[in-house]
Amino acid sequence: MRVHVVYAHPHEGSFTAALRDAAVATLRRHGHEVDLLDLYAEGFSPELTRDERAHHLDPVETKPALVPFAERLRNADALVLVYPTWWGGQPAILKGWFDRVWGEGVAFTLPEGKDRIEPLLTNLRRLVVVTTHGSSKWVNAVEGEPGKRIVGRSLRVLCHRRARFRWIALYGADRSTEEQRRAFVARVERRLARL
């Protein structure tokens, strides 16, 4: 499969960077073609602009800054997101990638005369999240897992009808031991081996 890996962490020496490397290496080892997008390294600007807001229903082709990101998304069979969970959800740089790139004409379309949007990213058959939570699973359950819901529900309905959503998460990362982190890397490798 062609796998688009989208990675968001500001610090190259982080545990999340190690998870990215493990994910990419595992996918390649199993014969997948990986297209890695490092949002921080690209200097991606997550704030939807006034102009984009005013023209949010225009085709993406009229927004040159977004075209390459849209093309990479359209060319993938699977999407793997690797990020730390902050405030229950994606870091702003990744949330902004949803806001700006997953727009009309890329992720969905609103056909003339209809009041329901139709999905356009039917090329995506797998949607995988690899993430770490500083806080415990219990705290995240109370918070209602906003980040999980955005990907598993809001984004998933815009993919292939039978697209599979996989959630690979380490809870309590702030207080985790070296051993727990190693075990989590192994879990990421095991699960991505069976993409």
Partner 1 sequence: MNVLVVHAHPDPASFNHTLFETAVTALRAGGHTVETIDLYAEGFSAVMTAAERKAYHSPAPILDPQVARHAQLVRWANALVFVYPTWWAGLPAILKGWLDRVLVAGVAFDFHPRTHKVRPALRNARLILGISTYGSPRWFGFAMADAGRRTLLRALWLCCPRRTRRRWIAMHGIDGTSEAERTAFLHKVDRELRAL
63's CB contacts (< 8 A; 6+ apart) are: 52, 55
- From the CB of 147, what's the least distance to partner 1, in Å? 7
Please report how close the Cβ of residue 155 comes to partner 1 at its closest, in angstroms.
Answer: 7
List of residues 6+ apart from 16 with CB closer than 8 A: 7, 9, 82, 83, 84, 132
Q: How far apart are CA 163 and CA 173, in angstroms?
A: 29
Cα 152 to Cα 129: distance, rounded to the nearest angstrom: 9
Phi, psi (degrees; rounded to nearest 5) at 158:
-100, 0
Q: Which of 21, 30, 46, 72 binds partner 1 (CB under 8 A)?
A: 46
Map the footprint of partner 1 across residues 94-113, applying CB under 8 A: 95-96, 98-99, 102
Whether the CB-CB separation of 61 and 55 falls below 8 Å is answered with no
Query: Which residue's structure tokens are 């809001």?
Result: 154
**135 binding partner 1? (CB under 8 A):** yes
Smallest distance, partner 1 to C-beta of residue 163, A = 15
Residues 141-180 that bind partner 1 (CB under 8 A): 142-147, 149-150, 153-155, 157, 174-175
Of these, 65, 139, 183, 186, which contacts partner 1 (CB under 8 A)? Answer: 139
Distance (Å, rounded) from C-alpha 149 to C-alpha 153? Answer: 5
**Is 114 near partner 1 (CB under 8 A)?**
no
Written as six digits, the tokens of 64 are 């040159």
* Separation of alpha carbons 88 and 134, rounded Å: 10
- Can you tell me which of 93, 127, 130, 185 binds partner 1, judged by CB under 8 A? 93
Between residues 169 and 195, which has the closer beta carbon with respect to partner 1? 169
Contact residues for partner 1, defined by CB under 8 A: 9-12, 14, 40, 45-50, 52-54, 86-93, 95-96, 98-99, 102, 115-117, 134-135, 139, 142-147, 149-150, 153-155, 157, 174-175
